[in-house]
Amino acid sequence: MAAIDTSRLSAVDRTARIGVIGATGAVGTVTLGLLAERGFENVRALASARSAGGRVNYGGDELRIEEASPELLAAGDLDLCLFSVGTSASRALVPHAAAGGAICIDKSSAYRLVDGYPLVVPEVNGARALEALERDRIVANPNCCTIPLTCVLKPLHDAVGIASVRISTYQSVSGAGAHRMTELEAEAAADHNLLMDWDWVGDESDEEAKLVAETRKIMELPDLPVSATCVRVPVLIGHSEAIWVELTESLSAEDAANILRGAPSVRVLDLPEFPTPQDATGIDEVLVGRIRRDPASERGLALFLSSDNLRKGAALNAIQIAELLLAGVAA
């Protein structure tokens, strides 16, 4: 398993024909903004039939919204597709785009835990994405909490090994879609509350199950003990996570901080600074702080992170995968 720093890629084809499916949603909008920032010249905006014919902003210009139909995706007019739609829509549309020859990066849970499909965070296991070029050209983008978590766990595991992980998440409403952001803004402050608006199987939510299973798959540690509690908080953008890590060897908080300072896409904050969703919003890095010894564990560390769930937690990670794959095709 090899990590890749996509910021160092130089052979990315910025003229590749890219389709953004789900272009009018919260993640799709951020995806378009990032593609424009990164100089991609040939981008199309696709969405549902009810949005077709409208327009979305692209780098100060506008794109006409096209209907993301199976026929359009299968036509062979796209080199790469970034899917920001629900699981059922991805299952219905992704195979058509792949059959048309496009590289597909899917942000839903449709392919994440299916054997044979790479689940990729470039800074953690980027080389896995290249396997898709030799198969069906489909790569899964992980959950918005799994991405920042593994960016932090990977360098610690490489240094001394990880024996177990416990996580408590504090997830913003944007993770539930743009409509939920609008609802929060319309609510009175008295209505703000913690939520567990997930689906449930017994005592575990689907959000918790995804975080556990995806972390194991990305880290390639199938037996890693992981326990998660996921909560929605009245914050518009930005997910935070409290993390307790049991290491296989002792590591001081100072050494852990120094290791993370050298990790790609991670920014370490020292007290009195500490990570917050507000500070993480609009930036590419995962903010990590409050790194300290866990007194409840012999070789344990406690950490706290915040990350922009629409950016690194979704759109940016997918674009980094896209750049990695486009560079691989060029090579």
- Distance (Å, whole) CA 111 – CA 98: 13
Helix (H, G, I), strand (E, B) or coil at 14: coil
Domain at 6-142+313-330: CATH architecture: 3-Layer(aba) Sandwich (3.40)
Domain edges within the chain: 6-142+313-330, 146-309
Tell me how crowded residue 193 is: count the other CB atoms within 10 A of its CB.
9
Q: 3-state SS string over 192-235?
A: CCCECCCCEECCEEHHHHHHHHHHHHHHCCCCCCEEEEEEECCC
> Which amino acid, residue 262?
G
Residue 203's pLDDT is 87
* Candidates 81, 157, 230, 239; catalytic one: 239
Q: Which residues of 134-150 are buried (b: 16+ CB within 10 A; e: fewer)?
A: eebbbbbbbbbbbbbbb
Query: Does the annotation mark 192 as catalytic?
Result: no
Q: What is the pLDDT of residues 90-108, one digit of tens each?
A: 999 999 999 999 999 999 9
- pLDDT band, residue 317 (cuts 50/70/90): very high
> Which amino acid, residue 274?
F
Query: Does the annotation mark 104 as catalytic?
Result: no
What is the full DSSP assignment across 253-295? HHHHHHHHHTSTTEEE--TT----HHHHTT-SSEEEEEEEE-T
Residue 6's pLDDT is 56
- Distance (Å, whole) CA 15 – CA 19: 12
Is residue 56 over pLDDT 90?
yes
Is residue 84 over pLDDT 90?
yes
- Distance (Å, whole) CA 289 – CA 28: 29
**What distance lies between CA 303 and its chain's CA centroid?**
20
Is residue 331 over pLDDT 50?
no
Phi, psi of 79, deg, nearest 5: -90, -30
Q: Which CATH superfamily is domain 146-309 in?
A: Dihydrodipicolinate Reductase; domain 2 (3.30.360.10)
Is residue 293 over pLDDT 60?
yes
Q: In the predicted model, what is the mean pLDDT of residues 218-235?
A: 96
Phi, psi of 228, deg, nearest 5: -135, 145
146-309: same fold as 6-142+313-330? no
Residue 195's pLDDT is 87
* Percent of the chain at pLDDT exceeding 90: 82
- pLDDT band, residue 330 (cuts 50/70/90): very low
**What distance lies between CA 154 and its chain's CA centroid?**
15
Q: What is the pLDDT of residues 150-205, one digit of tens each?
A: 999 999 999 999 999 999 999 999 988 888 888 888 888 888 888 888 898 888 89
* Candidates 81, 96, 104, 144; catalytic one: 144
- pLDDT band, residue 13 (cuts 50/70/90): confident
* Percent of the chain at pLDDT exceeding 70: 96
Q: What is the pTM of this model?
A: 0.93
Is residue 28 over pLDDT 80?
yes
Is residue 10 over pLDDT 60?
no
Is residue 273 over pLDDT 90?
yes
Mean pLDDT taken over the chain = 93
